Structure 1
Amino acid sequence: MAAGLGVNMCADLWSFALSTYARPGVEAACLRLQENGADVCLLLCGAWLEARGVVPRAERLKALQQLARPWREQVVEPLRELRVQWRELAQQEGQLETLRTGVKALELEAERTLLTRLEQLARGWPKDEAKGQYGWLEGLATEVANLDHNALQQLRVVVASP
């Protein structure tokens, strides 16, 4: 990504997600949300849509959730669980750490694939219709019973700042 571009200037969802995640406080907020059951890829997509001014409509929220859920449950989460399960043992076993690093790379590629699919679904939705109108993050986190609203707000503030 070109230096000097703000989070809001990222044209594609993957670049937006990378630049947003790299900003101070976002990784910690996303990990807290993920620990509470939130789909961070969906939330980053929601933040991207808010930044683009796309109106959060119920049918759009549902379409994104329906697209993300099977991929998250069948691909991303099993890779994450394996990586986490191996964390402690891999510190003692060098060969397992190499395998764990490979699993981590697969997990990241699975998340990139999900973000690409989410972007393809949302790419045609009209933008610049709802600047300053929020609702994507809350709408996409509806499945999370113990939603960390502070972490969600932190994500929103970072996205809104230049």
Structure 2
Amino acid sequence: MKLWDWALQVYARQDVADACLNLQDAHGQNVPYLLWAAWAAGEGVSADPKTAALLMRRWDAEVGAPLRGVRRALKPVQPDIDDTAREALREALKSVELQGERVLLESLEALCGPAEAPRDVLDALKTAALASGDPPRDSALERLARALA
């Protein structure tokens, strides 16, 4: 299954979404990158984790994090700003942010080699998190691995 389709399918599950948001908000992790690592393990494909982490960090710094920051800044009511217009802009940014995540996922998928044997998802998450430079507590990754199982 293509990574984007798989990511949409698993993220629709509440336990996966909750684990991902915890990793993002409490541990500063990039959710599409971790989902890529889990998908790659399950599909038995691999890519150099350092190359993937570099691609993710660059994209997140230049695109993902700024979009997320603007979207979040638009969430609370703003004095002297029309709520309908503000919310419409926020919804438009959500759509753009999701498209940015798709671009990242498709770029990470393109790094992968041919399929071999599936690997352990938790090990893949730990390897990816370590390659990203600031791994979260193992318990947060374990929560995501359990939710994906």
TM-score bracket relative to the smaller structure: 0.7 to 0.9
What residue identity is the alignment partner of 2:48?
R
Are 2:16 and 1:26 equivalent residues in the alignment? Answer: yes
Corresponding position of 1:105: 95
Q: State the TM-score, normalized to the length of structure 2.
A: 0.86
Bigger helix fraction: 2
SS of alignment partner, residue 60 of structure 2: helix
Are 2:30 and 1:47 equivalent residues in the alignment? Answer: no
Are 2:70 and 1:82 equivalent residues in the alignment? Answer: yes
Cα distance in 2, alignment partners of residues 84 and 73 from structure 1: 16
Q: State the TM-score, normalized to the length of structure 1.
A: 0.80
Are 2:140 and 1:155 equivalent residues in the alignment? Answer: no
- Superposition deviation, residue 150 in structure 1: 2.9
Cα distance in 2, alignment partners of residues 133 and 37 from structure 1: 20
Are 2:55 and 1:67 equivalent residues in the alignment? Answer: yes
Cα distance in 2, alignment partners of residues 31 and 131 from structure 1: 24
RMSD (CA atoms):
2.1
Corresponding position of 1:13: 3
- Superposition deviation, residue 133 in structure 1: 6.9
- 2:109 pairs with one of 107, 119, 132: 119
- Superposition deviation, residue 69 in structure 1: 1.2
Identity between Structure 1 and Structure 2 (%): 35
Runs of 4+ in structure 1 over 6 Å off: none
- What stretches of structure 2 of length at least 5 have no aligned partner? none
- Superposition deviation, residue 113 in structure 1: 0.6
Aligned residues: 144
The question of whether the paired residues in 2 share the 8 Å contact of 1:53 and 1:132 is answered with no
